[in-house]
Amino acid sequence: MAAAVTISYDESGDTIYHPGAEESTVFNAGDIAWTLASTALVWVMIPGVGYLYSGLLRRKNALTQLWLSMVCVGVVSFQWYIWGYSLAFSDTGGRFIGDLKYAALVGVLDAPSMGSTRIPAIVFCVYQLMFAAITPMIAIGAIAERGRLGPMMVFIFVWSTLVYDPIACWTWNANGWSFVLGGLDFAGGTPVHISSGTAALAISIYLGKRRGYGTERLAYKPHNSSYVVLGTVLLWFGWFGFNGGSALSANMRAANACIITNLAASVAGLTWMLWDYRLEKKWSVVGFCSGAIVGLVAITPASGFVGPSASVAFGVVAGTACNFATKLKFILNYDDPLDIFASHAVGGIVGNLLTALFAQKEIAALDGFSVIGGGWIDHNWVQLGYQAADCVAGFSYSLVMTTVILWIMHFIPGLRLRASEEAEIVGIDDAEMGEFAYDYVGIDADLGPKESEMRAESPPLEEKHETHA
């Protein structure tokens, strides 16, 4: 016997889901289209991170970050299917982490989603997958120039399960403790940025310093500023789906999220660039791009709660705070080659706390149904406490759990993350991949005088790493 038809359409083209004889749910065609389009926009951000990181490094390590961005999509997509989505968004889960109700995506198709009853669960699932995939990619940039690639695939799977999924659950799941408490995080200040930025700090501390740290050997500028611009363009472009898409509906709240996302990025880019200009009296495109990224990071948790004027403040504060936070690695003596902690963890904390000040009831209500207490503008003073609690919890949990994961892997044969000194010299691209981003990669500049002399006496090594790299 053929299965009963559970889907029909009304006169406007909206999908009507019939779970029972007398039950029905209407899925809005426009909301489905906007969420699926936003899914594609966020996907583009993942290689965008790869290009941004690749451009900032030395050319002998340029391909590694692009490889990581592709592999991260693959590993997390599989993890999300196995149990990631269920751990984050099962409606029968606990306040900290979900259960396995939707493991292997069983039951995730045409039922109403947790995020919005106007879109089916399968649409919500694939949209949230993009957030889950980009988050570890942000974090693992911290292995730059000194980390092994094979163990990273294991790390990505385990980290997504033990760090990202619980934080996403407590932030966005209707049962999560932060959600129930009243924390405001529209698009991922804590689950995406604080968690990944803090994980990058833990990775940097665990791996230790690169060879030649503290010397002129590492006082290099980005090898490809064009890649930096390309990565920023892909990220900025995709962020309209990241923040605007988090409304899960083609409505005024989504439109507001888009305009303030663009404005915050613009103001933060100008702010960072001006702070850098005071030092070298040069107009830096890398400085503008760095600022734009932190503006996007900071406005993320607030994008569904604040208006355009507030987003200007987000840009100025984030561009300033994160610019100066790049000095933390010298004060605290850790090697974070890409300033991930300063950009994402600090930027996420700034965004979370400013949300408590500038969140407005009427902005949230632009979707026609969201009701919040607002922030200090609406005299809801306790909101700052909620936001601070969420920041501290996300920071602490990610730092501790990431460190635990790294050290457990450290004592498992074959899973230690630190690359050898020789791999650092020739470049991770050659040592771990045997493939290169460019026709030529020179390594003499990374060797000391004695090492260069020894290398000159060894033609096979020179041929392998200089003519083909």
Q: Are 418 and 431 in contact, with CB atoms under 8 Å apart?
A: no
pLDDT for 455 equals: 55
pLDDT for 460 equals: 46
pLDDT for 459 beyond 80: no
Q: Which of 21-25, 27-31, 146-150, 341-345 has the lowest mean pLDDT?
A: 21-25
Q: Which of 87-91, 109-113, 357-361, 460-464 has the lowest mean pLDDT?
A: 460-464
Measured in degrees and rounded to the nearest 5, phi and psi for residue 16 equal: -110, 120
Region 383-410 average pLDDT:
98
The span from the CA of 355 to the CA of 303, in Å, is 9
Residues 6+ apart with CB under 8 A from 36: 123, 126, 127
Among candidate residues 391, 394, 51, the one with its CA nearest the CA of residue 236? 51
Average pLDDT, the chain: 91
State which amino acid sits at residue 42: V
Q: Are 168 and 323 in contact, with CB atoms under 8 Å apart?
A: no
pLDDT for 242 beyond 80: yes
Tell me the CA distances in angstroms from 286 to 197, 231, 272, one per residue in order.
20, 11, 10
The span from the CA of 267 to the CA of 288, in Å, is 10
1: confidence class by pLDDT, cuts 50, 70, 90: very low
Token look-up 């163990």 returns: 151
The span from the CA of 239 to the CA of 233, in Å, is 10
pLDDT for 468 equals: 36
Region 71-88 average pLDDT:
97
CA angle 83, 131, 412 (to 5 degrees): 55
Region 319-328 average pLDDT:
96
- DSSP string over 170-218: HHHSTT-HHHHHT---SS-IIIIIIHHHHHHHHHHHHH-PPTTTTSGGG
Locate the domains of the chain by residue range.
30-410, 421-467
pLDDT for 94 beyond 70: yes
CATH superfamily membership of 30-410:
Ammonium transporter AmtB like domains (1.10.3430.10)
- Residue with the bigger pLDDT between 331 and 462: it is 331
For the chain, what percent of residues have pLDDT higher than 90? Answer: 80
The span from the CA of 45 to the CA of 36, in Å, is 15
For the segment 405-456, what is each residue's pLDDT rounded down to a tens digit?
999 999 999 999 999 999 999 999 999 999 988 876 655 556 555 555 555 5
For the segment 185-208, what is each residue's pLDDT rounded down to a tens digit?
999 999 999 999 999 999 999 999
Region 218-231 average pLDDT:
91
pLDDT for 27 equals: 87
pLDDT for 241 beyond 90: yes
- Residue with the bigger pLDDT between 243 and 15: it is 243
The full length of the chain comes to 469
Query: Residue 16 belongs to what H/E stretch?
Result: strand 15-20
For the segment 40-51, what is each residue's pLDDT rounded down to a tens digit?
999 999 999 999
The span from the CA of 80 to the CA of 93, in Å, is 16
pLDDT for 453 equals: 55
Among candidate residues 243, 351, 226, 336, the one with its CA nearest the CA of residue 289? 226
Q: Is 9 helix (H, G, I), strand (E, B) or coil?
A: strand
For the segment 164-184, what is each residue's pLDDT rounded down to a tens digit?
999 999 999 999 999 999 999
For the chain, what percent of residues have pLDDT higher than 70? Answer: 92
Structure tokens at 363: 């902005």
Residues 6+ apart with CB under 8 A from 349: 194, 391, 395
Structure tokens at 7: 């889907």
pLDDT for 238 beyond 50: yes
pLDDT for 13 equals: 76
Q: Is 70 helix (H, G, I), strand (E, B) or coil?
A: helix
The span from the CA of 136 to the CA of 46, in Å, is 10
Q: Are 285 and 225 in contact, with CB atoms under 8 Å apart?
A: yes
pLDDT for 447 equals: 58
16: confidence class by pLDDT, cuts 50, 70, 90: confident
Alpha helices in 210-325 (DSSP H): 225-243, 252-280, 285-299, 308-325
The model's pTM: 0.91
